[in-house]
Structure 1
Amino acid sequence: MTFSRTTAVAGIASAAAIGLLLTGCTSAGNASDDGGDTELTVTTFGTFGYDDLYAQYESDHPGVTIKATNIDTGGNARTDLFTKLAAGSGVSDVVALEEGWLGSVMEVSDQFVDLNDFGGADIASRWVPWKLDQGTDADGRLIGYGTDIGPQGLCYNAPLFEAAGLPSDRASVAELFGGDDATWEEYFDLGRQYQAATGKAWFDQPSFVWNSMVNQLPEGYYTSDGELNIEGNADLEERWGWLTQGVADGLSAQQARWDWGGGKGFVDGSFATFVCPGWMLGVLQGNTESGGGSAATGWDFADVFPGGASNWGGAFLAVPATSEHQAQAAELAAWLTEPAQQVAQFEAAGTFPSTTEAQETLAADATPNEFFQGAPVGAILAERAQGVEAQFKGPNDSVIQENVFQAVLDRVDTGELNAETGWAEALKLTDELVDQ
């Protein structure tokens, strides 16, 4: 699903992680050491945490200059990429691809180089298998090196929980929601209990909750063989019912996505829980601080998630066929996605690694995060990554999420539509916007 990384996580660095960065292995090949000057262009979106890594790469590769462009959101990055692909020019040497629109990229995968031609096959064991599979097209061409994945835990505000008479320490909160058996039904029931005790909302707005629900299903908007999978989908309809009933019961704070009143929604007690893939931790912290809050605001991160393992987001680095520096670009993409660099990326942006070595580093590193009340966020995310599997994303997955369900849920959130009329409107919009 399309997402936005808007602010980096601070203070996650550890001695183990820094050591891995300093001793990280070199990437396949050494294509940039050709004695000439090369400018490599890179386009990412949101916050990838690459600025220091760019500087390190330039220092280690004399003659190479990186010209970086960052687009604010994944949705806008998708538009930028496909506009330039259609024009046949203007695409950067290295471009970030988002998981939610990877399906549409795979329809034009011949416009990207096969990274196996530049040493990709030699480093394939770096990644968890499903991430590698996601970046491989139907012809077996590896078009994207995996950056991060998005295992989810639950963010919650401890003082707000205490005010409602709920336990607030991480272990007790995980148990409160059901631990390994946590369900969405229990999540909404606890929300109604919280709302009755405080008169306040439980979550910020419904579309992020919906996104999380859809992502943890074995099949989402598409079946695994690429067929549209919305109308008559009992799993989706059941979750739609839970969520829209929660909205009707006053559990939504009706916040604006990616804004939250300039971050004030995280500070003023507007809502008590927030769904958190790893990259969202930085979003929460940055917006809390923008809204005038700090660690004292009381946000924490629990090793639990309703419905079990869920992955929201994740990206890849690809090299377009139009690049005039394909070998050098492939080398840069390989280096940026090495385990050492993925740990550094996590430190800078909270993005959880897709390489097994980096995951193991963070799993063993229980460094407390000061903003999240000392939570060992790396170790928690490593635990939450257990059981995550790739969900097939069809060519219009991000269109369905943003222009169908996100748009309809906004209208449900304001009371313009209810559960029944909202579902009907979603089916109508799908018919209008998606080729079937």
Structure 2
Amino acid sequence: MKFSRHTRTATAVAGAAAFALLAVGCSSGASSAEPASSDNPVTLTVTTFNTMGFDDLYKQYESEHPGITINATNIDTGGNALTDWKTKQAAGAGLPDVQAVEEGWLGQVMAVSDSFTDLGEYGAADIKDRWIPWKMDQATDAEGRVIGFGTDIGPVGLCYNKDLFEKAGLPSDRTEVAELLGGENSTWADYFETGKKYQKATGKAWYDQSGFVWNSMVNQLPEGYYKADGSLSIEGNTALSERWGELADGAAAGLSSAQTQWDWGKGQAFLDGSFATMVCPGWLLGNLKGGIEAAGGDGDSGWDFADVFPGGPTNWGGTFLTVPTTSKHPAEAAELAKWLTSAKSQVEAFQSAGTFPSVLEAQTDPGVTGSNEMSEFLNDAPVGEILASRAQGIKAQFKGSNDSVIQEQVFGPATIALDKGTDGKTAWNDALTTLKNLDLK
């Protein structure tokens, strides 16, 4: 998954390469002697992943900044982007001028934060109030260096298919759906019990697969896989094991459709009634829309978006734009990162990909809160308003250095095992064995 944002299972770079991350040279590349212009052209390389809504923005930036050419690479998933970054970081070569970093692997990045340009040298302090406070805090290292400008955050609401709800005799209006699941007091017990009613009425699964549900459950805890002091917090973590028990019970009851992550049967499962609900951080709405369209569907497919989430607020994902010190054009790269994370740019990115801004001004912009293409596709749901509501009360969870490795290599296989019929206790113990064998810190 990512389980971390947008991720299929990715193999971590280990052994000598992991140690090499700490050995990469930290000297900053020299910027162009003169500002970029038609007479002094500069090409900036950018690496992003999944759907970040930047394609049109790149074109706009080039048109407004003569002499700048953007050479963009978009990697399909966050996990593959992590592998790409770690490989190039270990080699000390091949990194772009602007590197997108996902929240789930920010801990690994912070371990080598001195290999990223301090954006404080390029005006970070002047625009620090642009973002929600905890977003800027996440990108600030122990020495006070700001290594990333925030793009989106990942407040989570519930995607559901109103047509399938109606066939099951359940309320289908989004307000009624929120009430059905307990409203602001919704719990995971409410979610799974309603799923059992749906499954009894239809014989069909309630959600797409256990991995995404588990990721959301973990992220909304005060502490996930790590304690705030950076130590592992899995064995003996009662809150974590209790939620695993709820998830295992749901899978055993047939509530999971056991979909392949990031594929959903090439989108067909969104149309054929394989499941009725899906946990949806804002950025995942782009995957939902893209999957439906890839399978030949459209906005009449029945999918809607409700302002409710079991267990309360949670954040899944969120990205930062960083400038590796290997960049030969750090000033130009920092300026591009700053522009892409402006309120105006973030509104446009939201309209394109559903990525909910971490920029305060953008969160309340009519381009986010009003009607847009994503809203129209989801039965005219007020997507921006719902995500803003779901963002209330979010507290950034500490992500340790191997958080994404644990999610992908420890609990990724364990949630797949649940969906294939392995009992919860066995799957949990197998996960702990994997954790021990990986010898992670």
Q: Which residue of 2 is the match for residue 384 of structure 1?
A: 390
What letter matches 2:436 in structure 1? Answer: D
Q: Which residue of 1 is the match for residue 381 of structure 2?
A: 375
What letter matches 2:6 in structure 1? Answer: S
What letter matches 1:413 in structure 2? Answer: D
Equivalent pair of 2:135/2:150 in contact (CA under 8 Å): yes
- CA drift of 1:434 comes to 3.8
Equivalent pair of 2:51/2:286 in contact (CA under 8 Å): no
Q: Does 1:137 align with 2:141?
A: yes
Question: What is the alpha-carbon distance in structure 2 between the residues aligned to residue 162 and residue 337 of structure 1?
Answer: 41
Q: Does 1:396 align with 2:402?
A: yes
The DSSP-based 3-state class of the residue aligned with 1:314 is strand
Q: Deviations over 1:378-429 (max 9, x none)?
A: 11111111111110000100000011101111112111x2111111011111
Counterparts of 1:29-428 in structure 2, within 5 Å, are 32-33=35-36, 36-362=40-366, 365-367=369-371, 369-415=375-421, 417-428=422-433
Question: What is the alpha-carbon distance in structure 2 between the residues aligned to residue 326 and residue 295 of structure 1?
Answer: 42
Question: What is the alpha-carbon distance in structure 1 between the residues aligned to residue 366 and residue 398 of structure 2?
Answer: 27
Equivalent pair of 2:362/2:368 in contact (CA under 8 Å): no
Question: What is the alpha-carbon distance in structure 2 between the residues aligned to residue 149 and residue 277 of structure 1?
Answer: 9
Question: What is the alpha-carbon distance in structure 2 between the residues aligned to residue 294 and residue 326 of structure 1?
Answer: 42
Q: 1:326 to 1:364 in 2, by over 3 A?
A: closer
Equivalent pair of 1:5/1:47 in contact (CA under 8 Å): no
- CA drift of 1:294 comes to 1.7
What letter matches 1:388 in structure 2? Answer: I
Question: What is the alpha-carbon distance in structure 1 between the residues aligned to residue 264 and residue 371 of structure 2?
Answer: 29
Question: What is the alpha-carbon distance in structure 1 between the residues aligned to residue 428 and residue 367 of structure 2?
Answer: 40
- CA drift of 1:362 comes to 5.0
- CA drift of 1:293 comes to 1.9
Q: Deviations over 1:348-383 (max 9, x none)?
A: 111000011001215973316221111010111111
Q: Which residue of 1 is the match for residue 26 of structure 2?
A: none
- CA drift of 1:292 comes to 2.3
Q: 1:356 to 1:5 in 2, by over 3 A?
A: farther
Equivalent pair of 1:32/1:64 in contact (CA under 8 Å): no
The DSSP-based 3-state class of the residue aligned with 2:242 is helix
Equivalent pair of 2:116/2:324 in contact (CA under 8 Å): yes
Q: Deviations over 1:276-322 (max 9, x none)?
A: 00001111111112122222210000000000101000000000001
Question: What is the alpha-carbon distance in structure 2 between the residues aligned to residue 141 and residue 284 of structure 1?
Answer: 37
Runs of 4+ in structure 1 over 3 Å off: 31-35
- CA drift of 1:86 comes to 1.2
The DSSP-based 3-state class of the residue aligned with 1:43 is strand
Equivalent pair of 1:363/1:383 in contact (CA under 8 Å): no
Q: 1:119 to 1:335 in 2, by over 3 A?
A: same
The number of aligned residues is: 411
Q: What TM-score does the superposition give when structure 2 sets the normalisation length?
A: 0.91
Q: Deviations over 1:187-207 (max 9, x none)?
A: 000000101111110001100
- CA drift of 1:3 comes to 2.1
Q: CA RMSD in A?
A: 1.4
Equivalent pair of 2:313/2:390 in contact (CA under 8 Å): yes
Q: Deviations over 1:57-108 (max 9, x none)?
A: 1111101111111111111111111111111111000000000000001001
Equivalent pair of 2:151/2:320 in contact (CA under 8 Å): yes
User: Which sections of structure 2, spanning at least 5 residues, go unmatched?
Assistant: 9-33
The DSSP-based 3-state class of the residue aligned with 1:295 is coil
Identity %: 61
Equivalent pair of 1:412/1:422 in contact (CA under 8 Å): yes
Q: What TM-score does the superposition give when structure 1 sets the normalisation length?
A: 0.92
